[in-house]
Chain A
Amino acid sequence: MLPQMGAAAESLSKASSLVMRIGTDAHLYDDPDDVSIKPLLESRYDSEKVDALKRLLALIAQGADVSHFFPQVVKNVASHSLEVKKLVYLYLLHYAEKRQNEALLSINCFQKDLSDTNPLVRAWALRAMTGIRLHVVSPLILAAITKCARDPSPYVRKCAAYALPKLYNLHQEEISSLEQLVDVLLRDNSPAVVGSASVAFNAICPNNYPLISKHFKRLCEALPDVEEWSQIILIEILLRYTVARHGLVRESVLFSDVTHDSTFSSVMSRCYVEGHELWSGDGRGFEEVEMGTCKNEDVDLLLKCTAPLLWSQNSAVVLAAAGVHWIVGPAEEVKKIVKPILFLLRSSSVAKYVVLCNILAFAKAAPLLFDSFYEEFFISSSDSYQIKTIKLEILSTIATESSVPFIFGEFQDYIRDPDRRFVADTVAVIGFIAKQLAVLAGTCLEGLLKLVLSEPLVSGSYQIEEEDGVLVQAIISIKSILKQDPSSHEKVIVRLVRNLDRIKNSASRALIIWIFGEYSSMGDVIPKIAPTVLKYLAWSFHSDEVEAKLQILNTCAKVTAKTKGNNEDSTLFKKILNYILQLATFDQNYDVRDRARFIRNLMGNKTKNNLDIYRDLIESMFCTKPASSPYPSANIRVYLPGSLSQVVLHAAPGYTPLPKPGSAVIENPTGLNNSSDVDESEGSSPQYSTEDNRSGYDTGTEETSENGDYEETPLVNISEANVDQGQTSQNDMSNFVSTDLSEMMSRTALESWLDETPSFSNGSFGQSHSQNVSTSNARVSFNDRNFKLKPRKSHVLLEPANSDGLRISYSFSTEVSSVSPLLVCVDLLFENFAKETLRNINIRFEEASGNSISGPTDPVLEDSASMVSPDKIPTFPMEEIPLLSPNETVKRILQVRFQHHLLPLKLHILWNGKMHLGKLWPDIAYFLRPLSLDMNSFVEKEKQLPGMFECSRRCIFSDHLQELEQNEKISVNADKSLVVAHCFAVKILSSSNFYLVSMDMPVSLKPDDMSGLCLRFAGEVVNSSKPCLITVIAHGNLTEPLDVTVKLNSEDTVFGLNLLNRLVAIVQ
């Protein structure tokens, strides 16, 4: 103790001398472990503890793992010093998940702190307690949050609201009590708390519209006072609610067709609501959607309360508020979002790119909104390339005849920009604008031509790639403008062709040659110069590159084919063509040779009568162009304004489109569970669920976005014993009646009926999938257990290369040890690859004390008692193999007691008097004994192990695909779902030691639907003899990889978690 104290004191004086110099924590960061941290942590003085904790923090920051200090650190939770507490919390939060058992020690202190008089202490305790993420204590956490939600201090209540999502992530069972807490917090007087509660709402139950409907007015009014970060979330919630409740607004900019491109905006509104995956691109309108009007007072209130937020200093709030106006605001008022959004560009440079992405989407739907603000999108030299390109794209979208002179004036400057990539983009945009506004085509062509012919571009000697990019882009732009009206721009073509010789770049040459061939018969001048041009091409053919050569061939063929009659020109053309063909036949490149052969056969000496046919053929081949679609509508990707998906242009995980307009029918604003999510074809009511209705109907026409809640005809009675995977019976009932209702009633009747009848939530949109895993109710259970198990996976213990040819492999066995239930049986396979006989092969365990093995000559293992390790764990040795002749294999069973289910066991392998060290790696899936249970007792047991004893994970199972493929070859009639179930069971049973309790198969009208396949396994943990129950539920279509949820219930939670990971690895 004394020397330690001395060291501490010394380090302290050293530390303080450093402090003299700097007065900061720098010394702690630079060499955090120059003193022993442990005694400091156990010191009686707070200052020393602080010092030690800061050192730990420094080590964490540098990436070191200091979790071994956990026990010492946890003790300090009880400290009264706030600073120590704060630092301990920081450390705890970092490592709690890794060291769950030790972290439990801190719970008591947290609970004591929760009743501290200092609100800061209460808040910290709550935050730390919820932050350590221990499944075991989730009921305690719930109690703590419930307590803090009624705390006198708003700060604590706010922290309680933020704690809810953490608990929800940890433990998803008790949603209803979480929702109640959200409800309580939403009622709070303090706007800060309301804001945090809305964040919790968004994380826990984003579709609980009835809850919002109760508070809607208050929430709107509180909006300006809520903290800015919560405003972002709250705005989104209110928007979703409004759309779900009242539908899209007919007057909104999305539906008004006065000001803009109506096809785009209709696509846009559909994308907002349906998401991309579901939108198939058909021409179906949006008529069936319920429309609200902005006369609605809710919509009006929302718009009124979000309007001032357009002046917020937080750019995310501005964009969110703008999104509300964009979607539900009337078209006349949408103008007012324009200036605030544009102002964002200047006032926060970090947000620039994101804002521009959103402006681009807005501008595409309503270019007229932005057309007078074109100056905002002029490029400044400090913009990054990414920003420059998106600005160009916006400019090209909003350019109008009045603004285009200014935009082009600006472009003239851009073309001289040193960044040539950007110049190429500018040139492309010029082409695009000229195509949109035909008036400008002439000017643009003139400008582009000047650019093409300007000296540095064609000289080709310098900066090849970048300059060529500009050149090629300029010619592509010219080409696309020419396409609009080729005959009036004949001179341009002539000038291009004339300068062909100056242009060296092969891609550009190929393009010009194509232009010439395409329009060779047009106008007056081109046909006249055609012979000269062809002669030139023939002359330059050999020096051209492949790309240009191919175009020369095509062009010659085209020109020759187009010349009708038998005048001088056509004979000349034929001659030239023949000459070029000849050259091409001996070209080095086989593409060129192929093309030549092809053209020769087409154009070769044909008899008179089929000449016309060939000519037609050639003309249709070379001269007709596929009609290009004016608008690449398939490429439109639109996501909600302000979302991450809109920026990255793909649906980010967790992206949810707006709810179905008018889908939330709220009858009784005080009830919590009366929401409904009604689709056109899916009505729901309990009173229609009679037996008669259940037979003989098809499976509906409309898929819901989640999992296609189709209902099946129950062929077999529904067994009551089936475990209901979190689905309420109400839900089942409502699903039963789905489709025949729509047959019985016309849609309008259905809708009016729906409006009067309270209906049930079937919780779709965005809810966690795990609750909706099981969808079918009818199942077949069967007891066929004759699986052909696959050979178990064997691992190598000893490689022949470094052991005189002895190879030992091991695999875990499903046998139960005869000696003690604590032992695991391992099959060992000894093989002799050497040419000589091996003697006295044996294996023994390295003992903890390490005293029994003194040398390889030791007499080997006569006395099993000597192998009992000091902590009385019996490990039973195997029989010695006296002789192992070459190529002989011998099998032995080793009964092992693993001390830890993840750590390897060290072995000594002895043969011929030599010793080798080996490691036996445990396989956790075999640390179980099969537990024979029937269905009912399984369910009972499972019920006893809820909450923290339960864990589940999802994974993908795709092995059955292969199996099905094989089966298809053998017999067509085999029940595919049976095969899949078999395949699944085999997979698990052949690499673990479980008892298969039951195998439930879904019965469904859709033959390929495997949703609801459910396998149950039971086992007993070897070390603790505690039962361990596994439920595997599959979901999906059998022709595709199945989505599998593996659920594990066991009292031994740590073991359970590891086992679960192993099982998931097996399945995958």
Chain B
Amino acid sequence: MVEKQMMGHHVDRSICAWFWHQYNHHRNNDQMSVVTSPTHYLFPLIRHGIIFLACTQLELPPLLPIEFLSRFADILSDYLCAGSGAGATLNEDIVKDNFVIVYEVLDEMMDNGFPLTTEPNLLKDIVLPPNLVTKVLHAVTGNSSPSVGPTLPHAAASTVPWRSTHPKTTTNEVYVNLVEQLDASVNWDGNLRRCQVYGEIQVNSSLPGFPDLTLSFTNPSLLNDVRFHPCVRFRPWESSQVLSFVPPDGHFKLMTYRVKELKKIPIYVKPQLTSDSGNCRISALVGVRNDPGKTIDSIIVEFQLPPCITSADLTSNHGTVDILADKTCRWSIGQIPKDKLPSLSGNLVLEPGLDRLHVAPTFQVRFKIMGIAMSGLQIDKLDVKNMPANPYKGFRAQTQAGDYEFRS
């Protein structure tokens, strides 16, 4: 399915057909970020099976369309999936159901090939997101719900474009959530090659008026790299490593950071492969190494069977093992039981003529730990100024696996 809109010069739809052809041909070495077609430069972005494609004929910073597309995809899923329950991702049907909104949002976000309004709060005032109330109203009265806001939000005129100033019914609370991704890579001999945390500070704020927040850390020196939401003021950070900002309404990503050179990993995988005379025995053990003090949830170990393997027979003493269509082997463990170490064992049959397995698959691990930030970053306090009543403040933390891999 194709959705698009022309800006300025006419671009023929056939470019999509061209791209589709190329895409299907080169499925295996996917994720080209800049494609040169005979007539245009294309910037594809693939999210949840939907392809967003931008194209240009002229020189421009390539990150601009790439960044715009991912922003557009974010906003679109924010718009369309919020109503249909948590965890819903963008899919073809949702886009189809709301195609008018997609058009309207895109029109507001882009003018003559340049991004116009990309602040989600602003956009939501101009093009109203579909929600249950309008849907019910729609159904009862038979009138189609207005999808366009009545007037220009004042924020468009203010110096703080990310915050809408007209008062809404707010609950006067603010939540700060540390979401960290742990990247680790362990060598075949069990040495930790690399371990780092990529984290985001997600804030959900529903504060009335014009609040001014200050967030400080107990150990800011941990932070290796940082990037900020535009609302963060640079000066206080430069001088005293404090985040001072006027928050937008709702959910947003205040800051992303990286903590490098960590020494401890919570989970280990010990893979072993031995092979002779056309057979390869595989075994893998999973265990907790440095107990983080909280339960480790939804552990999944995945590895790609090498192409030279014709058949595989794998069993485990805990959890389920599936071999997917693309020769990916997925071992879903869940939580590690108290009494035993989960282990996987089995036999792989190599292609005829091949005696030994000379390649080594990489084991990727996914997990989730609630209530802890593996980097050790701690929030000291959150000050709220400019507020009539003291709001409720909540803090959470969570760590999940990023590029967490074990080589065999």
Q: Which residues of chain A (341-388) have a CB below 8 Å from chain B?
A: 342-343, 346-348, 350-355, 375, 378, 380-382, 384-387
Complex CA–CA separation, A462 to B30 (angstroms): 26
10 additional contacts (CB under 8 A) given A229-B118, A312-B230, A343-B258: A61-B99, A87-B100, A118-B151, A162-B112, A166-B112, A308-B234, A311-B227, A319-B61, A409-B187, A653-B59
Q: Which of B62-70, B263-271, B281-289, B312-320 contacts A (4 or more CB under 8 A)?
A: B62-70
**B10:A97 contact, CB within 8 angstroms:** yes
Taking a contact as CB atoms closer than 8 A, the residue among B2, B130, B238, B403 that contacts A24 in the complex is B130
Choice from B34, B36, B58, B116 contacting A162 with Cβ under 8 Å:
B116
- Interface residue? B96 (CB, 8 A): yes
Q: Tell me the A residues contacting B by CB distance below 8 Å.
A: 12-13, 16, 19-20, 22-26, 28-30, 47, 50-51, 54, 57-58, 61, 63, 82-83, 86-87, 89-90, 93-94, 97, 118-120, 123, 127, 130-131, 153-155, 158-159, 162-163, 165-166, 169, 190-192, 199, 224-225, 227-229, 232, 236, 308, 311-316, 318-320, 339-340, 342-343, 346-348, 350-355, 375, 378, 380-382, 384-387, 409-410, 413, 416-418, 420, 454-457, 459, 461-463, 642-645, 647-648, 651-656
In the complex, B343 has a CB within 8 A of chain A: no
CB–CB B353/A313 < 8 A: no
Smallest Cβ distance from B51 to chain A, in angstroms? 13
The 3 closest A-B pairs by CB, nearest first: A316-B63, A23-B135, A654-B58
Q: What's the minimum C-beta distance from B27 to chain A, rounded to whole angstroms?
A: 11
Does any Cβ of A come within 8 Å of B324's Cβ?
Answer: no
Name A339's contact: one of B31, B34, B193, B224 (CB within 8 Å): B224
Q: Which stretch from B138-146, B168-176, B214-222, B374-382 is at the chain A interface?
A: B138-146
> B residues within 8 A CB of A30?
96
Chain B residues closer than 8 Å to A384, beta-carbon distance: 29-32
Report whether A343 and B61 are in contact in the complex, using a CB–CB cutoff of 8 Å: no
- Contact, CB under 8 Å: B157 / A155: yes
Instruction: Give CA–CA (A89, B382) in the complex, Å.
Output: 46
Which of B301-309, B332-340, B391-399 is found at the contact surface with chain A?
B301-309
Contact A24/B135 with A354-B63, A456-B354 known, Cβ cut-off 8 Å? yes
Interface pairs (19), CB distance under 8 Å: A24-B130, A83-B146, A118-B152, A127-B111, A190-B157, A192-B156, A313-B230, A313-B253, A315-B67, A316-B67, A320-B61, A353-B34, A354-B33, A409-B187, A417-B362, A462-B351, A647-B62, A648-B34, A654-B59
Could you tell me the distance between the alpha carbons of A455 and B146 in the complex, rounded to whole angstroms? Answer: 71
Q: B116 → chain A, closest Cβ, in Å? A: 7
Name the residue of chain A whose CB is nearest to the CB of B354.
A462
Known pairs A378-B185, A644-B61; A24 contacts B98 (CB<8 A): yes
Could you say which residues of chain A place their CB within 8 Å of the CB of B139?
Answer: 16, 19-20, 23
B241 on the A face (CB < 8 A) = no
Q: Point out the residues of chain B lying under 8 angstroms from A94, CB to CB.
A: 5-6
Q: Could you tell me if A339 and B41 are in contact, using CB atoms closer than 8 angstroms?
A: no
A410–B171 Cα distance when bound, in Å, is: 52
Counting CB contacts under 8 A, is B147 at the interface?
yes
User: Given that A119-B152, A386-B29 are known contacts, is A229 also in contact with B159, CB under 8 Å in the complex?
Assistant: no
Query: B308 — which chain A residues lie within 8 A by C-beta?
Result: 462-463
Q: Which residues of B contact A16 (CB under 8 A)?
A: 139, 142
Q: How far, in angstroms, from A596 to B13 measured CA to CA in the complex?
A: 58
- Residue B346 interfacial (CB < 8 Å): no
A162 proximity list for chain B (CB < 8 A): 111-112, 114, 116
Asked if B407 CB lies within 8 Å of chain A CBs, one says yes
A229/B68 in contact, CB under 8 A: yes
CA distance A353 to B31 in the complex (A): 9
Q: What are the residues of chain B within 8 A of A118 when measuring CB–CB?
A: 151-152
Bound Cα distance A512, B336 (Å)? 54
CA distance A108 to B237 in the complex (A): 52
Check if B136 is an interface residue, CB within 8 A of chain A: yes
User: Pick the contact of B97 from A26, A314, A319, A455 — CB < 8 Å?
Assistant: A26
B194–A378 contact, CB under 8 A? yes
Asked whether, in the complex, the Cβ of A123 is within 8 Å of the Cβ of B97, the reply is no
Bound-state Cα–Cα, A915 to B62, Å: 62
CB neighbours of A155 from chain B (8 A): 152, 156-157
In the bound complex, residues from chain A placing their C-beta under 8 Å from that of B88 are none
A348 touches B100 (CB 8 A): no
- Which residues does B use to contact A, with CB under 8 Å? 2-3, 5-6, 8, 10, 13, 29-34, 36, 41, 45, 56-64, 66-70, 93, 96-101, 103-104, 107, 111-112, 114-116, 118, 126, 130, 135-136, 138-139, 142-144, 146-152, 156-157, 159, 161, 183, 185, 187-188, 193-194, 196, 198, 224-230, 234, 237-238, 253, 256, 258, 304, 306-308, 351, 353-356, 358-362, 364, 403, 405, 407
CB-CB under 8 A from B225, the residues of chain A are 339-340, 342-343
Q: Once the chains bind, are B351 and A410 in contact (CB under 8 Å)?
A: no
Give chain B residues whose Cβ lies under 8 Å from the Cβ of A158. 116
Instruction: Say how far A1006's CB is from chain B's closest CB, in angstroms.
Output: 31
Known: A153-B157, A311-B228, A653-B57. A348 touches B194 (CB 8 A): no
Known contacts: A94-B6, A227-B161, A313-B230. The answer to whether A459 contacts B355 by CB under 8 A is yes
Give CA–CA (A190, B308) in the complex, Å.
Answer: 63
Cβ–Cβ contact B3 & A61, under 8 A:
yes
The docked-state distance in angstroms from the alpha carbon of A824 to that of B159 is 65
Nearest CB in chain A to that of B230: its residue? A228
Once the chains bind, are A123 and B67 in contact (CB under 8 Å)? no
In the complex, chain B residues whose CB is within 8 Å of the CB of A311: 226-228, 234, 237
* Residue ID in chain B nearest A192 by CB atoms: B161
Across-interface contacts of B13 in A (CB, < 8 A): 63
Q: Are A413 and B188 in contact, with the CB atoms below 8 A? A: yes
Q: How far is the CA of A645 from the CA of B36 in the complex (A)?
A: 11
Cβ contact within 8 Å between A456 and B97: no
A455 touches B116 (CB 8 A): no
> Given A308-B234, A314-B67, are A232 and B99 also a contact pair (CB < 8 Å)?
no
Chain B hits for A347, CB < 8 A: 198, 227, 256, 258
Q: A25 to B98, alpha carbons, bound, how many Å? A: 6
Could you tell me the distance between the alpha carbons of A339 and B225 in the complex, rounded to whole angstroms?
7
Write the nearest CB–CB distance from B357 to chain A, whole angstroms: 9
Residue numbers in B under 8 Å from A459 (CB-CB): 353-355
**How far, in Å, is A118 (CB) from chain B's closest CB?**
5
CB of B1 to closest CB in A, whole Å: 8
Is the CB–CB distance between A381 and B238 below 8 Å? no
Do the beta carbons of A648 and B159 come within 8 Å of each other? no
Contact of B100 among A12, A57, A352 (CB under 8 A): A57
Contact present for A229 and B114 (CB under 8 Å)? yes
Question: In the complex, which residues of chain A have a beta carbon less than 8 angstroms from the beta carbon of B64?
Answer: 229, 232, 316
Q: Which of A86, A127, A318, A653 contacts B104 (CB 8 A)?
A: A86
Nearest-neighbour CB distance to chain A for B338, whole angstroms, equals: 31
| B residues in contact with A119, CB < 8 Å | 151-152, 156-157
A642/B63 in contact, CB under 8 A = yes
Residues of chain B lying within 8 A (CB to CB) of residue A375: 193-194
Contact A418 B361 (CB under 8 A): yes
- When C-beta atoms are compared, the residue in chain A nearest to B130 turns out to be A24
- Distance in angstroms from B319 CB to nearest chain A CB is 21
Which of B34, B144, B353 sits near A47, CB closer than 8 Å?
B144
Note all chain B residues with C-beta closer than 8 A to A339: 224-225
When chains A and B are docked, how far (Å) is the Cα of A50 from the Cα of B142?
13
Tell me the complex Cα distance, A227–B117, Å.
Answer: 9
A83 touches B198 (CB 8 A): no
Name the contact of B407 in the complex, choosing from A51, A93, A352, A413 (C-beta under 8 A). Answer: A413
Q: Are B63 and A51 in contact (CB under 8 A)?
A: no
Nearest neighbor of B224 in chain A, beta-carbon distance: A339
Q: Which residues of B contact A120 (CB under 8 A)?
A: 126, 149, 151-152
A334: min CB distance to chain B, Å: 17
CB A103 to nearest CB in B, in angstroms, measures: 15
Least Cβ distance of B120 to chain A in Å?
13
Partner of B96, one of A29, A154, A343, A461: A29
With the chains together, A564 CA to B275 CA distance in Å? 52
Q: Report yes or no: A380 in contact with B403, Cβ–Cβ below 8 A.
A: yes
Complex Cα distance A787/B136, Å?
78
Known: A350-B33, A354-B66, A454-B358. A83 touches B258 (CB 8 A): no
